[in-house]
């Protein structure tokens, strides 16, 4: 069977490695950390995954934590007004529940499973020079490591990348002790709190190394009042800043966070990056080619919570393309076509995410406001997180929005 190398052991790299392994391929996986180093390291993301992405894991029997992780059945939006008011506050119901499993738990567990099933796990931080050699030893090399030197092999696609600078400053804290939302005390939901002109606060349940927890995630417009986490190294200070901002801008969320404490000393994360789409084929100095995977080639801002979802969908699309290729060569034309098939899904995520990073136009404000009184609008918006392609039907065009709202009101 054909030999495939995957560099990077995140959602996409591991899902793809385990999927190819199940199909009988000889797979080598390179990671710059051991499973134990991942498990005891710093949190890596918020990773709320919706139904379609979760189903890809189920299809490969990789949903090891489904019975333990909180089942997120709703997605709510609140808009902060002056003086702690909430002019908009509603909850949409998801058709299929979402789940978040701390990537320290999932990636460490999946890596161990890959090795137990006979896969070759190499702990090594790969450089371009390494891949130059490996491209001659393997039928296909896939790069799924979204940070570091390797990303520089994939040129920026200017037409698909409207931003050259980070659009949000990101700050995450995993906590125990968060109380329920009084509006729905018995239902787990992702809560999106929009603070006009400043940024967003997302609150979501998760399963972490110490069991059930919640994630507090600030997205601040650079240079604004939420952009205060740069240089903060102390986890306690990070949490204190998180709570101070909640008390000032989202007091309804702060009210249930007065007893919150960090899940562990590595339960915080801060940073920023520019949303970027890159060309999918990387050229090595020796003439070999490698194919970029997931956020190596399509890196969106996490404002729409699509990172892990997109990684799962990319891995599923690439798996199908590799298997379908049979014994034919994995040449440049095939690499481009494989990415293009994934881009047909990913383009909707990129368009929606980039739209949400800007100031919302009037018809979008009307849509978000109308969801407070029309449950069908709230539900459809919530389910767009699972299928962002649906936003084409009613979100971007004012006339389509008006027609949808009129139809929903008539019902």
| CA distance readout (Å), 179 to 67, 349, 362 | 22, 32, 34
Whole-number pLDDT of residue 82: 87
Report CA torsion sign: 148, 341, 166, 308: negative
366-400, pLDDT tens digit by residue? Answer: 999 999 999 999 999 999 999 999 999 999 999 99
Tokens of 186: 């018995």
Query: 112-118 — which CB contacts under 8 Å span 24+ positions?
Result: 112/35, 113/18, 113/62, 113/64, 114/14, 114/17, 114/18, 114/21, 114/27, 114/29, 117/18, 117/21, 118/21
Question: Distance between terminal CA atoms of the chain?
Answer: 57
Whole-number pLDDT of residue 220: 98
Cβ atoms < 10 Å from Cβ of 384: 21
Whole-number pLDDT of residue 20: 98
Distance separating alpha carbons of residues 5 and 388, to the nearest angstrom: 31
Residue 185 sits at the vertex; the CA angle it makes with 382 and 219, to the nearest 5 degrees, is 50
User: What is the 3-state secondary structure of 327-354?
Assistant: CCCCCHHHHHHHHHHHHHHHHHHHHHHH
Kindly state the helix (H) or strand (E) to which residue 259 belongs, with its residue range: none
Distance separating alpha carbons of residues 216 and 238, to the nearest angstrom: 11
Q: Is 266 exposed, middle or buried (0-12, 13-18, 19+ CB in 10 A)?
A: middle
Residue with tokens 């919570």: 305
Whole-number pLDDT of residue 394: 98
Whole-number pLDDT of residue 301: 97
355-368, pLDDT tens digit by residue? Answer: 999 999 999 999 99
Whole-number pLDDT of residue 147: 77
Distance separating alpha carbons of residues 410 and 402, to the nearest angstrom: 12
Distance separating alpha carbons of residues 341 and 297, to the nearest angstrom: 13
Task: Tell me phi and psi for residue 75, to 5 degrees.
Answer: -140, 120
The separation between CA 237 and the C-alpha centre of its own chain, rounded to angstroms, equals 25
Whole-number pLDDT of residue 1: 82
Evaluate if pTM is beyond 0.85.
yes
Fold of 72-100+165-271: D-Amino Acid Oxidase; Chain A, domain 2 (3.30.9)
Whole-number pLDDT of residue 149: 85
Choose the CATH number for 3-62+103-163+275-356 among 3.10.450.50, 3.50.50.60, 3.20.20.140, 3.40.50.1470: 3.50.50.60
Distance separating alpha carbons of residues 31 and 344, to the nearest angstrom: 29
Q: How many CA atoms lie within 13 A of 348 on its CB side?
A: 18
Whole-number pLDDT of residue 354: 97
Domains of the chain: which residue ranges? 3-62+103-163+275-356, 72-100+165-271, 360-410
Closest by alpha carbon to 194, among 86, 335, 346, 116? 86
Cβ atoms < 10 Å from Cβ of 188: 22
3-class SS of residue 303: helix
Q: Dihedral (C-alpha) 120, 125, 129, 130: value to the nearest 10 degrees?
A: -10
The separation between CA 19 and the C-alpha centre of its own chain, rounded to angstroms, equals 20
Q: List the chain residues with pLDDT less than 50.
A: none
The separation between CA 310 and the C-alpha centre of its own chain, rounded to angstroms, equals 7
């Amino acid at each position: 069977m054909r030999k495939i190398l995957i560099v990077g052991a995140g959602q996409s790299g591991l899902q793809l490695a385990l999927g190819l392994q199940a199909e009988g391929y000889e797979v080598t996986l390179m990671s710059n950390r051991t499973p134990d180093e991942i498990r005891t390291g710093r949190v890596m993301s918020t990773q709320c995954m919706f139904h379609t992405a979760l189903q890809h894991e189920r299809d490969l029997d990789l949903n090891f934590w489904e019975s333990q992780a909180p089942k997120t059945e709703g997605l709510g939006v609140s808009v902060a007004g002056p003086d702690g008011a909430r002019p908009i506050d509603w909850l949409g119901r998801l058709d299929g529940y979402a789940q978040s499993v701390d990537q320290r738990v999932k990636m460490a567990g999946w890596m161990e499973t890959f090795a137990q099933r006979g896969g070759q796990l190499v702990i090594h931080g790969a450089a371009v020079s390494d891949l130059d050699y490996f491209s001659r030893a393997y039928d296909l090399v896939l790069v799924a490591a979204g940070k570091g030197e390797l990303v520089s092999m994939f040129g920026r696609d200017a037409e698909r990348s409207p931003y050259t600078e980070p659009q949000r400053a990101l700050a995450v804290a995993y906590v125990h002790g968060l109380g329920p939302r009084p509006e729905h005390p018995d239902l787990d939901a992702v809560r999106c709190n929009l603070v006009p002109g400043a940024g967003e606060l997302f609150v979501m349940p998760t399963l972490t190394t110490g069991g059930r927890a919640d994630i507090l995630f600030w997205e601040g417009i650079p240079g604004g009042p939420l952009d205060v986490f740069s240089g903060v190294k102390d986890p306690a200070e990070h949490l204190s800043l998180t709570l101070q901002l909640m008390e000032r801008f989202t007091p309804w969320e702060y009210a249930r966070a007065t007893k919150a404490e960090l899940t562990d000393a590595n339960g915080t994360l801060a940073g920023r990056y520019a949303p970027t789409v890159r060309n999918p084929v990387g050229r090595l100095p020796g003439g070999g080619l490698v194919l970029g995977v997931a956020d190596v080639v399509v890196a969106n801002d996490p404002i729409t919570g699509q990172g892990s979802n997109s990684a799962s969908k990319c891995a599923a699309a690439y798996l199908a393309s590799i298997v379908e290729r049979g014994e034919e060569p994995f040449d440049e034309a095939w690499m481009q076509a494989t990415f293009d098939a994934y881009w047909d899904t990913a383009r909707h995520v990129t368009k929606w995410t980039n739209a949400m990073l800007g100031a919302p136009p009037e018809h979008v404000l009307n849509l978000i406001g109308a969801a407070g009184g029309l449950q069908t609008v709230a539900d459809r918006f919530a389910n767009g997180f699972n299928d962002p392609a649906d936003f084409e039907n009613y979100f971007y065009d004012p006339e389509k929005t008006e027609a949808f709202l009129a139809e929903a009101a008539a019902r």
